[in-house]
Amino acid sequence: MGSLPLLSWGFAYTLRPVRILVTGGAGFIGSEYVRMLLGAPGGDAARVPAVAPTAVTVLDVLTYSGNLANLAPVAEDPRLRFVQRDICDPAVVDEVVPGHDVIVHFAAESHVDRSIDGAAPFVTTNVLGTQNLLDAALRHGTSRFVHVSTDEVYGSIAEGSWTEDWPLAPNSPYSASKAGSDLLALAYHRTHGMDVVVTRCSNNYGPYQFPEKVVPLFVTNLLDGGTVPLYGDGGNIRDWLHVHDHCRGIALVQEKGRAGEVYHIGGGTELTNLELTGRLIEACGASWDQVVPVADRKGHDRRYSLDISKVSSELGYAPSIDLERGLAQTVQWYRDNRAWWEPLKAGTKPLIAP
């Protein structure tokens, strides 16, 4: 097939036909990636993807956080195929991986508090599932494997920012399992010469985030006039990034990242949880009376901070949505989409897209 020149993000890209396998594509970030790749309606210029896929397969087992409703805006796109299967099943992965040029691997158990309650699914999916996918990609000669990871693999940093060569020192079972998967992915590059790139991102917020993470939990509770549980002294610091900017960064890495390299994707907007809570209260028209201090998370990392100079200088990445605009848009989305989140909070997720 020929290639198609397109003007995107202010410079010319030559789009190649590409078949992409997205694991975890029914989750929060994976579904944004799929909607972006397929050009879901309602976006602005920054939504133009770097890659024009001829086919996108979503491989997702639909755990509690996976939701076909997240793919509703692109459900009719003939390029999209959905496979409801487990990445930990070697037979499944062996059948699904062939025929794809690129794997973008989002599928994971992703919530720190759940990993404190029980680490087993985190090790199974995040470590063994990743190894299973890497083996299949190796066997079938997949051209590129994009492993989506997190800043949490570095632990906690009091001052300054992590660079990509920083030693890994994860503190929670979640981050330890992600660190294990990162090291495996990089080992497959080193050992087998596989084309692997790893991204490590800071805290995402935006539409379609499962209402257990702090932003959607607080927003939905505040909108309902309820209370929100603030852990410890509220002084823990996170760097917030809109999910769409994360996905733009991943698309750049998928397209132009160097094999065997790690790239940070961050927002440059560090807030204490108290500061974040204040912004959410204001955006929701709520009050500080709704904030209830509760016991701290066990092993709670104090601060995350990524140095993003590598991805900026090498690949031209910069976040495009500032926090004020992004939070306002996100709160509005939760106001407008009660039908999406109320069943999730009630524990009655619909099994098919509405």
Binding site for ligand DAU (CB under 6 A): 110-112, 150-152, 202-203, 213-214, 217, 229-231, 236, 238, 273, 297, 304
Query: Quick one: 101 or 270, whose CB is closer to ligand DAU?
Result: 270
Q: How many residues bind ligand NAD (CB under 6 A)?
A: 29
Nearest residue to 66 (alpha-carbon basis) of 354, 332, 350? 350
- Nearer to ligand DAU among residue 272 and residue 329 (C-beta): 272
> Catalytic residue among 13, 174, 188, 205, which?
174
CA dihedral of 265, 271, 273, 275, whole degrees rounded to 10: -150
User: Strands 144-150, 196-201: parallel, antiparallel or unpaired by DSSP?
Assistant: parallel
Phi first, then psi: what are they for 76, rounded to 5°?
A: -90, -5
Query: Would you count residue 129 as binding ligand NAD (CB under 6 A)?
Result: yes
Other CB atoms within 10 A of residue 291 CB = 20
Name the active-site residue from 151, 182, 195, 245.
Answer: 151
238 binds, among ligand DAU, ligand NAD, none (CB under 5 to 8 A by kind): ligand DAU
**Binding-site partner at residue 63 among ligand DAU, ligand NAD, none, CB < 5 to 8 Å by type:** ligand NAD
Identity of residue 201 = C
125/202 with CB nearer ligand DAU: 202
CA distance 55 to 36: 13
Token pair belonging to 102: 């690129």
Smallest separation, CB 3 to ligand NAD (Å)? 30
What string marks each residue from 36 to 65 as x (binds ligand NAD by CB under 6 A) or -? ------------------------xxxx-x
Contacts of 220 (CB under 8 A, 6+ apart): 211, 334, 341, 345
Instruction: Verify whether residue 152 is a known catalytic residue.
Output: yes
Of residues 193 and 229, the one with the C-beta less far from ligand DAU: 229
**With respect to ligand NAD, which residue has the nearer C-beta, 86 or 164?**
86
Q: Is 174 among the residues known to form the active site?
A: yes
The one of ligand DAU, ligand NAD, none whose footprint includes residue 66, by CB under 5 to 8 A per kind, is: ligand NAD
Residue closer to ligand DAU (CB basis): 119 or 217: 217
CB of 53 within 8 A of CB of 99? no
CB of 170 to ligand NAD, least distance (A): 12
Of 22, 26, 51, 198, the one binding ligand NAD by CB under 6 A: 26
Residue in 152, 195, 270, 301 annotated catalytic = 152
Identify which of residues 124 and 227 has a Cβ nearer to ligand NAD in the complex.
124
- Applying CB under 6 A, does 28 fall inside the site for ligand NAD? yes
Q: Which of 201, 215, 247, 331 binds ligand NAD (CB under 6 A)?
A: 201
The CB-of-202 to ligand DAU minimum distance in angstroms stands at 5
For residue 270, give the amino acid letter: E
Measured from the CB of residue 58, what is the shortest distance to ligand NAD in angstroms? 9
Residues whose CB falls within 8 Å of the CB of residue 165, separated by 6 or more in sequence, listed in order: none
- The residue ranges that bind ligand NAD (CB under 6 A) are 23-24, 26-30, 60-63, 65-66, 86-88, 106-108, 110, 125, 129, 148, 150, 178, 201, 203-204, 210
The catalytic site residues sit at: 151-152, 174
